[in-house]
Amino acid sequence: MPDPLAELRYELALANRILANEDVLDAFGHVSVRHPKDPNRYLLSCSRAPELVAPGDIMEYTLDSQLVTKSEIPLYSERVIHGEIFKARPDVMAVVHHHAPPFMPFVITGTDYVPVFHLGATGGAKPPFWDQRHEFGDTNLLVVKPEEGASLARAMGKHWMVLMNRHGVTLGGTSIRDVVFRAIFSCRNAEFLLRAKALGEIKPLSPGEVEKAAVISTKTTGQARAWELWTVRLDKAGGTPPRGVKAKSKPKAKPGKAKKKR
Ligand code: MN
């Protein structure tokens, strides 16, 4: 029977690799999407570096971040970030969690993110901070307990992005493409903001400008144009995910059939 989610698994694998290719994700960080037919489930890779994620790695989870089909395969320890945000925000259809370098100075110092160019509005006017220490004391900073994920989702509130002190960033979006767009352009904005601060006084977008500029990212023409570019860049880098669901590990070659060396 063909997998009804095959196209979505492919798109999510592609999103993982695009975000890695654009330097948002590295060995860590992840991207998920809500199940299109069952809002009480979501799709997320098993524990694998985003650059390597293939459609066959994409697993189905309940909103309590448990696998729908039991498996012994290692999973992301921070998957509760996704489940708890999907629970708290019915309007969020996709989630990205990252530790991208342009944001680290902000989350380390607790400096506000403000949009300084039109596409920076995708991150919101002044996204809130969440400090795990306030509620949970000394932790290893990973968000692994459901109550930690729920606390993060509360801090996010109605925003599309939440900054996590000494850790990273979590974003929501209305689709995979929307959340990828927000993740990439908010990183660009953070980069510009940091550099501009070194040059002089910052004059961020006004609240009215943020509101108007934020609409840009919701237009499918812009999203499609950016997605095509990122897809082609990934392809040029040789990173396009394989089509179809393949076995996770290839069977080892049978011994005894090695070619003779000349
Ligand atoms: Mn993390």
For residue 173, list its beta bridge partners. Answer: 94
**Ligand 1 center to 142 CA (angstroms):** 6
Residue 221 has a CB neighbour count (10 Å cut-off) of 8
Among this protein's residues, is 72 annotated catalytic? no
Closest CA to 178 of 34, 21, 50, 6: 34
Below-70 pLDDT ranges, the chain: 245-262
- Looking at residue 250, its pLDDT comes to 45
**Ligand 1 center to 201 CA (angstroms):** 32
Residue 192 has a CB neighbour count (10 Å cut-off) of 17
Phi, psi of 60 (to 5 degrees): -105, 135
pTM score, whole prediction: 0.92
- Looking at residue 219, its pLDDT comes to 82
- Looking at residue 249, its pLDDT comes to 44
**Ligand 1 center to 191 CA (angstroms):** 20
From the list 7, 11, 22, 78, the catalytic residue is 78
3-state secondary structure (DSSP) of residue 149: helix
**Ligand 1 center to 233 CA (angstroms):** 26
- Looking at residue 217, its pLDDT comes to 77
What domains appear along the chain, each with residue ranges and CATH number?
4-236 (3.40.225.10)
- Looking at residue 91, its pLDDT comes to 98
- Looking at residue 215, its pLDDT comes to 87
